[in-house]
Chains A and B, each alone.
Chain A
Amino acid sequence: DAGITQSPRHKVTETGTPVTLRCHQTENHRYMYWYRQDPGHGLRLIHYSYGVKDTDKGEVSDGYSVSRSKTEDFLLTLESATSSQTSVYFCAMSGRADEQYFGPGTRLTVT
């Protein structure tokens, strides 16, 4: 399998607390992505990265920030979690446009 992992896999947190999700890859791919999956919406892009310290916003970036200090790690931070951020979060990586490898997902519940 492609070497991409996510941690934690499940998290329950309270409204207003900060949360950081980690995505780690071992393939040295340039591009990394964070998506969220919600019923009726499929997967939607939150943020993406095209290199170390190079990131940009996606379709649903409000309330989220990202950082990429190393090629292998892409962090997604919810500065102050809200119930609307309850979702399943998927990280992905790619080396080019015709391939994307997804992590196993993180189920986040904000109470």
Chain B
Amino acid sequence: AQKVTQAQTEISVVEKEDVTLDCVYETRDTTYYLFWYKQPPSGELVFLIRRNSFDEQNEISGRYSWNFQKSTSSFNFTITASQVVDSAVYFCALSEDYNQGGKLIFGQGTELSVKP
């Protein structure tokens, strides 16, 4: 069965610390997409990144970086030099049924608290 696991329910760090959010997935598909979303206290879902199953290149966007490893079925997210504004719930998600537009399977979410 397809599944996404975010084992870290809550993480608390002090500003400027680096933090890594873990995401492990299970899928039987050879073609799939992985996503990260941010949900700030205001409640909306903010798209951060998508990765397809054929592209294992790591990606960096400012203070954010993502490490995709098919060998371990992981798609981890690192925030470097965290800031208070990074406080949010972060969701990892897997897109299945490629031919049906890609229904998303979400992990349980990791609540990140960055303290000043």
Write the residues of chain A forming the contact surface with B, with a CB cutoff of 8 angstroms. 30-31, 33, 35, 40-45, 48, 50, 58, 88, 90, 92, 94-102, 104-105, 107
Contact = CB atoms under 8 A, between A and B. Distances in A.
Given A31-B101, A96-B101, A105-B44, A43 B106 contact: yes
9 contacts: A31-B100, A40-B108, A48-B100, A48-B103, A50-B100, A88-B43, A97-B33, A100-B104, A105-B43
Nearest to B104: A100
B45 interface: yes
Contacts of B106: 35, 42-44
B75 interface: no
B38 to A, nearest CB: 11
Given A31-B101, A50-B101, A98 B33 contact: yes
A58 B98 CA distance: 15
Interface residues of B, number: 28
Given A31-B102, A42-B108, A43-B106, A90 B33 contact: no
- The residue in B37, B93, B100 that gathers the most chain A C-beta atoms within 10 A of its C-beta is B100
Given A88-B43, A90-B45, A97-B101, A42 B50 contact: no
- Shortest Cβ-Cβ A-B pairs, 3 listed: A97-B102, A31-B101, A42-B106
Interface of B: 4, 6, 9, 33, 35, 37, 43-45, 47, 50, 52, 91, 93, 95, 97-109
Contact of A104 (B43, B47, B98): B43
Nearest to A93: B101
A37 to B, nearest CB: 8
Given A42-B91, A43-B91, A94 B45 contact: no
A92 B102 CA distance: 11
A102 B37 CA distance: 10
B107 A99 contact: no
